Amino acid sequence: MNYVAGLPYTLGFALGYWATNIAGIVLMVAGGRLALSGRAGRKDLLVGIAASTLYTIVAVGLLDLLFG
């Protein structure tokens, strides 16, 4: 019974993982085009790094809250 109860979680996890991979690929292509066009500046880089860092802090905080 535990396996059946865990199946929706496992499927949701796999679909979420797949969706974030697709989103990451799309964003890398868009970012690559921007970088190659020469229009990306230092501010764009700093905003990207800040957003990535903030996302990581929130994700780790939620994991700690849920499982810590």
Q: What is the pLDDT of residues 50-67, one digit of tens each?
A: 888 898 899 888 888 887
Task: Give yes or no: residues 18 and 1 share one domain.
Answer: yes
Q: What is the pTM for the complete model shown?
A: 0.52
Looking at the fold, whether 33 and 55 belong to one and the same domain comes out as no
31-49: pLDDT as tens digits: 888 878 877 677 877 888 8
Do 22 and 54 have their domain in common?
A: no
Residue 42, both tokens: 């230092």
**Range of the structural domain that residue 28 is part of:** 1-37
47 shares a domain with 24 = no
Q: Are 1 and 33 within one domain?
A: yes
Cβ-in-10-Å burial (0-12, 13-18, 19+) of 40 comes to middle
Residue with the two structure tokens 């996890």: 13
Q: What share of the chain is helix, strand, coil (3-state, %, to 5)?
A: 90, 0, 10
Tell me: do 49 and 63 sit in the same domain: yes
> 28 and 2 in one domain?
yes
The structural domain count of the chain equals 2
d(CA 49, CA 24): 15
